[in-house]
A and B are shown apart, each in its own frame.
Chain A
Amino acid sequence: MAGRQFIMQVWRGDAAKGSFQEYRVPAAEGMVLLDVIHAIQATQAGDLAVRWNCKAGKCGSCSAEINGKPRLMCMTRMNSLNTDEPITVAPMKSFPLIRDLVTDVSFNFEMAKRVPAFKPRPKGPDGTHRMQQEDIDRVQEFHKCIECFLCQNVCHVIRDHEDNKKHFAGPRLFVRYAALEMHPLDTNDRRELLKDKMGLGYCNITKCCSEVCPEHIKITDNAIIPLKERVVDEFYDPLARWLRKLTAKGS
């Protein structure tokens, strides 16, 4: 690999103006894209703005669009890209730009504030909660979410219509709602809110969100569709609703 260089086109700029800038970085074995960005920072552009923490796909800080594809920079091996061509690195498009690769993701944190809290049922006779592993497998899948917001970024409901953010929680938050709704101990009911305020109906199951999820959470199949079914049951099927009340909480 000696002497080889990566040719990078990195987006530089802020909300007002910006453009792609070219940088050349010497290749080293096993590099991931975040290493290349760090090399640019250390030697050519000390003020290049980028978020990262774990460098191991665990914290969800380093989301960007690499050759147009939304991914984690720390989990993108350079040898998985065509390095004969320049590689473009751009910030996530659906969020307002702060600077360079850093975007304002506060929308997601605001939406999280509106999620009705977890409300557990009382503890069992021995003072603990007994739960079977198979009853929590599904919810544990949802808890794998690292809040990289890549799914929020690709969802066309937000990406193409900025205005929808006011009344559309987005896939990440649907995963969170699903985690709560299917939690074996939870007693809250969030279905009306989902239908009326969180825009569950806007989702037309394109599955783009599931495709980009670095944690491989089946967002559409396992979270969104079951939520839609529950909402339908609640509001259009009185029998199912009555049955559900009898059995406390279905899963």
Chain B
Amino acid sequence: MAGPYETHEYDVIVIGAGGAGLRAAVEASAQGVKTALICKSLLGKAHTVMAEGGIAAAMGNIYPEDNWKVHFRDTMRGGKLLNNWRMAQIHAQEAPARVLELEEWGALFDRTPDGRILQRDFGGHRYARLAHVGDRTGLEMIRTLQQHAVHKGIDVYMECTIARLLKDGDRVAGAFGYWRESGRFVAFTAKAVVLATGGIGKAWKITSNSWEYTGDGIAMALDAGADLIDMEMVQFHPTGMVWPPSVRGILVTEGVRGDGGTLKNSEGKRFMFNYIPEFFKAETAETEKEADAWYEDKKNRRTPDLLPRDEVARAINAEVKAGRGTPHGGVFLDIASRRSADYIQKRLPSMYHQFKELAGVDITKEPMEVGPTCHYVMGGVRVDADTTATTVPGLFAAGEVAAGLHGANRLGGNSLSDLLVFGRRAGLYAAEYAKKFTGAVKAGVDQLASVEHELLTPFNHHGGENPYSIHMDLQECMQNLVGIIRTESDLKKALGEIARLKQRLTRASVEGHRQYNPGWHLAMDLHALLEVAETCTLSAIERKESRGGHTRDDYPKADPSFGKINLVTRKKNGALSITPEPLPEMPGELKQLIEEQK
């Protein structure tokens, strides 16, 4: 039986309660519009809570030479210039104020001796720039935002999964989903909707991402008619745990290298010196001595251990392939021989804990074994740089679900700052849109009966496909065929496999009833996950070059003509298309910034 459904009316609903969603909800509510925040997990458990290293912001507390221009330049160069320049500019300019605002709401960052916010080194950032709290920065950030949002009285719908966006003609008018606890359906009508649902990392087998990262927001936006860009751009973080198998993929923060750790192969050699690309030669140290001097004084050239993530991940991959890997197929990350036990425990307490508890390794005494892990998607929903508006009226997007800021590769620390800067803007402009909106909000509630039917089908099949097996097969496929190094024939194979998995999903069956049933939840999430896997693969086929998070064995070089375009994914009448479109033209004075400060 369809409907009537539990229904709630708001001016703005924010889907997702990580850093981006929380910051958006806080802003929208501060603008005086009726706001709701909706999330799949309990409040405070989103990915943001796991972030370790820090928030990038050119506050200049350690190096007064640092300013937004340098941060802008680092972000653009790290992204292989595929970034939306205007987003990179806004991000670099506004990040410091957003960090200070967190302090005003109760966050306590680690301090410098003169009592200011301490900043740490990270890959691709010219100066020590990451505001942090040991290696649990995300926890500090999400808790601060969460508590602030709660005090502001924002309505929070936890463990409530949104399955579809509702539309009224061309514009978005609400969302439809279910309570995980009861399995009951619920509808929201809204004048504006902010997507802040995060990424897609659960499509890969070795991943730092949680069960939530099934690309729901990206798939819903696509289905609602929004443009996606750069879906082939997936970041493999160079350092995930590799042993034991059960923890494979869990992140090892870049802070380990920022604080003095180095990568070594099985011969004990610091191999990164052999992998310095032309693009970064001028600013990278060539010898171990020079690299170590950089840790003491950042005026020296930086260690190649902290090249942008795509470079380091590829280098590790190559070392392992060449037979110089560790027994478990990674490389060594050594901080034990380089820093005192005290220092390591103070700076990296949760890494210490994580290795001790999960791998039986004492990182103050032994090296860690690490290897690449799927971590972040640079691609996602196309947004307007200033307002975060998507191409669908009334729909906004911020955080990992949105694309543009990071180009072909994200620098560490630039996500948390992204969440704050564009989360705030999403809340602001969604509220503004809602205020200007006149007329009745008419969510097309009549479509819901068929959606309900679709969502419930897995209960009607018996002895059909197990959703967990479909998921595992997808992860295997993406890991092997759409991983760090790609080729056209593999990618085409992957498309075939994804099509078969889609077929299997139509026959998925789940046992039990609707109350808190993870098998059923997965069966529903898989629709989104297969769709984003497909867009990623299609886009990867079209980008016939290597750049940032996308490496093609059959096109190993960057191609300047591809450097000028985004690949746009659209869906019309059920069919996906990929179209190249020119990047927005960067103003001359910003171009100069990138050239000048090499």
Interface residues of A (CB under 8 A from B): 14, 28-32, 35, 41-43, 45-61, 75, 77, 98-100, 102, 104-105, 109, 112-113, 115, 117-118, 120, 123, 128-133, 136, 139-140, 143-147, 180, 183, 185-186
Contacts and interface: CB of A to CB of B under 8 A. Distances in A.
A232 B189 CA distance: 50
A49 B514 CA distance: 11
Contacts of A35: 246
Contact of A50 (B100, B110, B518): B518
A112 B147 contact: yes
22 contacts: A28-B245, A28-B246, A29-B244, A29-B245, A30-B244, A41-B518, A47-B520, A56-B50, A59-B45, A59-B50, A61-B45, A77-B358, A99-B515, A112-B147, A131-B108, A133-B110, A140-B108, A140-B134, A143-B108, A143-B133, A143-B139, A185-B106
Given A46-B466, A46-B468, A61-B41, A55 B250 contact: yes
Contact of B246 (A31, A47, A50, A120): A31
Given A53-B50, A123-B104, 5 more contacts: A30-B243, A30-B246, A47-B520, A105-B42, A140-B134
B298 to A, nearest CB: 21
Contacts of A77: 357-358
B50 A120 contact: no
B337 interface: no
B512 A120 contact: no
B437 interface: no
Contact of A55 (B116, B210, B243): B210
A28 B247 CA distance: 12
A113 B150 contact: yes
Contact of B143 (A109, A139, A143): A143
A211 to B, nearest CB: 17
Nearest to B251: A56
B211 interface: yes
Nearest to B48: A59
B106 A136 contact: no
A173 to B, nearest CB: 12
Contacts of A61: 41-42, 45
B300 interface: no
- Pairs A-B, 10 closest by C-beta atoms: A30-B244, A46-B519, A47-B512, A130-B115, A118-B106, A42-B468, A117-B151, A49-B516, A99-B516, A53-B210
Given A53-B211, A131-B115, A132-B115, A47 B357 contact: no
Interface string B128-164: 0000011010011001000110110000001000000
Nearest to B468: A42
Contact of B100 (A128, A130, A133, A147): A128
Nearest to A176: B147
A48 B518 contact: yes
A104 B181 CA distance: 9
A212 to B, nearest CB: 15
A47 B42 contact: no
B485 interface: no
Nearest to A118: B106
B103 to A, nearest CB: 6
Contacts of B326: none
Interface residues of B, number: 63
Interface centre among A51, A100, A180, A183 (most CB of B within 10 A): A51
Contacts of A51: 41-42
Contacts of B520: 47
A144 B349 CA distance: 11
Contacts of A41: 468, 518-519
A140 B275 CA distance: 39
A43 to B, nearest CB: 7
Contacts of B43: 109
Nearest to B247: A30
Interface of B: 41-47, 49-50, 100, 103-106, 108, 110-111, 114-116, 133-134, 136, 139-140, 143, 147-148, 150-151, 158, 181, 210-212, 243-247, 250-251, 350, 353-354, 357-359, 466-469, 472, 510-513, 515-520
Given A55-B250, A58-B136, A120-B104, A98 B114 contact: no
A90 to B, nearest CB: 16
Contacts of A75: 357-358
A183 B106 CA distance: 8
A95 to B, nearest CB: 12
Contacts of B147: 112, 115, 117-118
Given A61-B41, A99-B516, A146-B139, A46 B245 contact: no
Contact of A143 (B103, B140, B210, B518): B140
Nearest to B142: A59
A111 to B, nearest CB: 11
A48 B44 CA distance: 23
A58 B49 contact: yes
Contact of B510 (A46, A129, A132): A46
Contacts of B114: 130
Contacts of A131: 108, 111, 115
A92 to B, nearest CB: 13
B518 A49 contact: yes
B441 to A, nearest CB: 28
Contact of B354 (A46, A57, A104, A139): A57
A242 B41 CA distance: 46
A120 B102 CA distance: 11
Contacts of B45: 53, 59-61
A130 B45 CA distance: 30
Given A61-B41, A75-B358, A47 B519 contact: yes
A53 B108 contact: no
B361 to A, nearest CB: 11
B136 A112 contact: no
A174 to B, nearest CB: 15
Nearest to A140: B108
Given A46-B468, A58-B350, A118-B106, A130 B116 contact: yes
A46 B244 contact: no
Contact of A30 (B359, B511, B516): B359
A48 B512 CA distance: 9
B44 A147 contact: yes
Contacts of A113: 150
B234 to A, nearest CB: 20
A147 B140 CA distance: 12
